[in-house]
Amino acid sequence: TNTPSSDEIHRLDREHVVHPWHAMDAWRGYDNMLVDTAEGIYLYDGAGRKFIDGPGGMWCVQIGYGRQEMADAIAAQAMKLPYASPFTNATEPAAILAQKLVAMTPGDLNNVFFTTGGSTAVDTALRAMHFMNNNLGRKDKKIILAREKGYHGSTYLAASVTGKERDVSRFDTARDLVHFLPDVNPYHRPDGMSVDDWCDAKVADLQNTIDTLGADKIGAFIAEPILCSGGVIVPPEGYHKRTFDICRANDILYISDEVVTGFGRLGHWFASYDEFGIEPDMITCAKGLTSGYMPLGACIISDTVMERMTSDDPVLFSNGYTYSAHPVSCAAALKNIEIMERENLLDHVKSVTPHFQKRLQDLRKYPIVGDVRGMGLLGCIEGRLSKDGSRLSDERRIGQMLDDACEEMGLLVRPLINMCVFSPPLTITIGEIDQMFDILERAVDLVG
Ligand code: PLP
């Protein structure tokens, strides 16, 4: 009887909650969707309307919603040991989880620094680079190479290496220590240029930057295997391996930000090696690690980097969080991984990917669609022209228009200016993929 009405929740939300990416022009004036319950790949709003969760939460709900086993594992750990300071204590869930993670990663990535999410994992990786180079007496080797359209998080340092200009333009950043490599999106290559030539040009961007700035000034290169919130930008084939080799040759740490691509999104635990054949010095992950049931992130660090951070002096790597390696989050991650293993979710993703990607490619036939791209269970539609071939007057809002049209028909997608992206729970079936794309097709047709 004390349950507040939907209207009341909306009112409280409008008056008191500041959301991530809060619309400051519509401050206190905007009703966000009231999400009430969830089951499988579906979300239900306050009025009981059902939606396919196209974005999978925020690219994170790999095993889907409503898993009793997850709730039980979380409750059991909360009763047994809800918290222990990670600064001085070992706990069973953290130790077992760390062992699991290093078994999933390539090379000598044998050391796990647990964080509270993706941004803090990225911060940790960059601070480890600073620490390492200070330890080695290379005080000038600190510039971070990052990429236009890259997204790495919302802490000061992670935002500073984020290359989505719109997201950072009203903030101060540590940009004087960051250098951005230009857009790698093959869709944006000049008319007449082959994808191979585009790849050569993008690799040359890195080499030229190193030649100009000097390898002795550059500490790290940070890259997402696929630039996800930048618009699911799949790099040209060979790009990652070639840029990785250049970093290795120049003693520049390679940080692979797998916050989205980890944990099955592309059909692998991690994509760096299994999809792209590289062995990064550090891998950052979060999101799918717990399928969003609890907050957790990790920065996985190679033995080589750890050794180079080691000192004969009694120095501490004084980086960390009260909720690093939170026992309840680690227990949730262990149960999540157990479910993914038991249900062979990596194989499931590999088996449904061709159908998902084919339905995505089929959208090319609509004139409004400029490009579609994706990999695994990641997809993006980039808008272009209206039906008569002229530019849409509202071109930049295509993402929002598709989102509105899809929502009417029971599908949520994520609008990104002139694009919309989706990354459904990995448990999605062929039938549900068809439902999703049937709605998308109708929406594309309507908006066009
Ligand atoms: N890195 C990448 C590639 C991401 O996509 C994100 C979030 O979307 C982050 C880092 C930041 O993670 P979090 O929001 O958990 O701090």
* Predicted pLDDT of residue 390: 55
User: Residue 97's domain is classified under what CATH number?
Assistant: 3.40.640.10
Q: Do 219 and 315 fall within a single domain?
A: yes
* Mean pLDDT on 241-259: 98
Asked if residue 226 is part of any domain, the answer here is: yes
Q: Do 355 and 306 fall within a single domain?
A: no
Asked if residue 321 is part of any domain, the answer here is: yes
Tell which one of 162, 259, 270 to mutate to probe ligand 1, the residue whose CB is within 8 A of the most ligand atoms.
Answer: 259
* Predicted pLDDT of residue 395: 61
Q: Is 423 in the pocket of ligand 1 (CB under 6 A)?
A: no
Instruction: Indicate which residue's Cα is closest to atom 10 of ligand 1.
Output: 152
Instruction: Indicate which residue's Cα is closest to atom 7 of ligand 1.
Output: 153
pLDDT bucket at 216, cuts 50 / 70 / 90: very high
Q: Do 368 and 325 fall within a single domain?
A: no
Which range marks the domain in which residue 132 is found? Answer: 71-342
Q: Do 187 and 305 fall within a single domain?
A: yes
Domain end marker among 283, 310, 342? 342
Share of the chain above pLDDT 90, in %: 89
* Predicted pLDDT of residue 166: 87
* Predicted pLDDT of residue 276: 98
Asked if residue 7 is part of any domain, the answer here is: no
* Mean pLDDT on 209-228: 98
Q: Is 152 in the pocket of ligand 1 (CB under 6 A)?
A: yes
Domain end marker among 342, 374, 393? 342
Asked if residue 1 is part of any domain, the answer here is: no
Q: Do 335 and 348 fall within a single domain?
A: no
Atom from ligand 1 closest to the CA of residue 228:
5
Q: Do 89 and 233 fall within a single domain?
A: yes
Q: Do 282 and 416 fall within a single domain?
A: no
User: Residue 56's domain is classified under what CATH number?
Assistant: 3.90.1150.10
The domain total for the chain is: 2
Which pLDDT tens digit goes with each residue over 142-168? 999 999 999 999 999 999 999 998 888
Q: Do 82 and 216 fall within a single domain?
A: yes
* Mean pLDDT on 246-256: 98
Asked if residue 428 is part of any domain, the answer here is: yes
* Predicted pLDDT of residue 394: 57
Q: Do 203 and 321 fall within a single domain?
A: yes
Average predicted confidence (pLDDT) for the chain: 95
Share of the chain above pLDDT 70, in %: 97
Q: Is 259 in the pocket of ligand 1 (CB under 6 A)?
A: yes
CB within 8 Å of 374: residues ≥ 6 apart: 232, 234, 356, 357, 360, 380
Asked if residue 275 is part of any domain, the answer here is: yes
Q: Is 224 in the pocket of ligand 1 (CB under 6 A)?
A: yes
Q: Is 232 in the pocket of ligand 1 (CB under 6 A)?
A: no
Q: Does the reported pTM lie above 0.90? A: yes
Q: Do 179 and 85 fall within a single domain?
A: yes
Q: Do 410 and 281 fall within a single domain?
A: no
Q: Is 117 in the pocket of ligand 1 (CB under 6 A)?
A: yes
Q: Do 371 and 325 fall within a single domain?
A: no
Asked if residue 411 is part of any domain, the answer here is: yes
Asked if residue 265 is part of any domain, the answer here is: yes
Domain end marker among 342, 359, 387? 342
